[in-house]
Structure 1
């Protein structure tokens, strides 16, 4: 009897578990399942939840923070410009507010939106490790390698983009490395 109860508990827990995944590449986002017009992009290394699968698309839930001055961008935390997802400016989006920001902090929000189905990962450790390796192997060729902690989270995208053309880093990996650098910056703040 105890084995049956334990099995039922494990099964119930497993069925209630959220399907949280990550991508190591930029994912296109769509308002509706059958849309072909891309309305946004989800950047690598950021967690999202798969709610439903339909053919080549998945309905996902993305959580993050919304700066009232940039209502078409979801950020990783409530005070830094670490982008989770960015959307076209003229698109009407249906954000759900989770928590109102106070004292200049941004609102915590979520959005349900369709995305291309890809090979997703259960954690982002390997992709962050690969990003670190790409950064270390390519960004110290012309000068001494900068420490990840040398720049702020808000400064890293411009610093990286100013030098990336002199490296062998593929375009598809650039946002992977930027996200890695921002999440290891000297002033990085966890949500």
Structure 2
């Protein structure tokens, strides 16, 4: 029994080491040596680190795609919480695709490359920082809206309509949007 528990702990720790998060938008490349950016991975979204080669790492990104717009990966199968987005003309090769049923979006995985850096092991600190940015900047002109005042699909346009009047840096805007969407009144966890 002890051996089983030790093996389970070891396997869990290995898996945890291979999961990464970023608090900034990451450029994605289809191949290790590409100089042309094919897409972007948005902050606070999990990815698996598959291998490291020089200045780049190969990552696996999971999400859902609307078959009518297969170049955007979403966090779940019904809300527009973006995980990653690629140029419309990019030929994406999903490593896994499970067709959605009853109008639900397809569940997919894609393996791409990004620049190597120190990735976080979870998104708790970055979501806390986003919460602070929102609280300290979005209540200047009026009382800050509660995160659950809007739906996940409403938050991006609501935030963008007012963000230029705040002190939130451009590099942190997607971080705050992801925080707001993941705390919206209708937020749906991934399956």
Equivalence for 2:113: 114
Secondary structure of the 1:113 match is: strand
TM-score normalised over the length of structure 1? 0.93
Does residue 169 (structure 1) correspond to residue 168 (structure 2)? The answer is yes
1:6-155 to structure 2, matched below 5 A, reads 9=7, 13=11, 17=15, 19-155=18-154
Q: CA RMSD in A?
A: 1.8
Find the aligned partners of 1:155 and 1:7 in 2 and give their Cα distance. Answer: 45
Find the aligned partners of 2:31 and 2:96 in 1 and give their Cα distance. Answer: 21
TM-score normalised over the length of structure 2? 0.93
Q: Which consecutive segments of 4 or more residues in structure 1 shift more than 4 A? A: 5-8
Secondary structure of the 1:181 match is: helix
Offset of residue 11 of structure 1: 8.1
Deviates more, 1:48-57 or 1:8-17: 8-17
Find the aligned partners of 2:5 and 2:150 in 1 and give their Cα distance. Answer: 50
Unaligned runs of 5+ in 1: none
Unaligned runs of 5+ in 2: none
* Number of residue pairs matched by the alignment: 189
